[in-house]
């Protein structure tokens, strides 16, 4: 090969490239309008404390494309919260928190576990 010859021989005709799928092609397509959920308003337009918790959790989950109306997501939330309640109970038994603090925090976690049933 002389210095004038190209380093790579050219193929006659246009180069054939393999089709490349964009990364987003692997994602399942969702229809957000069919997954919208809302917490029903009370007659005076306010939410109960438990409904506020449910609405906050639903908002956080919606930011990552999830919803509490999905059973797998709701089950995951309940499992995680049940483990947090066990951890809290252990802290109480070891004297790390008072009985009153335990009851208050455990009540909050219990309310969070009810959140999937409040989204409709």
Residues 98-110 as b or e (16 or more Cβ within 10 Å = b): eeeebeebeeebe
Give pLDDT tens digits for 41-62.
555 668 888 888 899 999 999 9
Residue 4 lies inside a defined structural domain of this protein = no
Q: How many CA atoms lie within 13 A of 87 on its CB side?
A: 8
Predicted structure pTM score: 0.59
Instruction: Give 47 or 72, the one with higher predicted confidence.
Output: 72
Indicate the number of domains in the chain: 1
Residue 89 lies inside a defined structural domain of this protein = yes
Residue-range definition of the domain harbouring residue 55: 48-118
pLDDT category of residue 91 using cuts at 50, 70 and 90: very high
Residue 41 lies inside a defined structural domain of this protein = no
């Amino acid at each position: 090969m002389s210095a004038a010859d190209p380093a790579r021989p050219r193929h006659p005709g246009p180069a054939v490239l393999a089709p490349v799928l964009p990364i987003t092609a692997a994602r399942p397509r969702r229809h957000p309008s069919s997954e919208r959920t809302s917490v029903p308003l009370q007659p005076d337009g306010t939410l109960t404390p438990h409904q506020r918790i449910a609405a906050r959790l639903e908002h956080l989950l919606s930011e990552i494309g999830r919803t509490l109306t999905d059973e797998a997501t709701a089950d995951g939330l309940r499992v995680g919260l049940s483990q947090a309640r066990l951890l809290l109970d252990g802290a109480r038994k070891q004297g790390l928190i008072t009985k009153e603090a335990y009851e208050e925090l455990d009540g909050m976690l219990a309310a969070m576990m009810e959140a999937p049933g409040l989204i409709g």
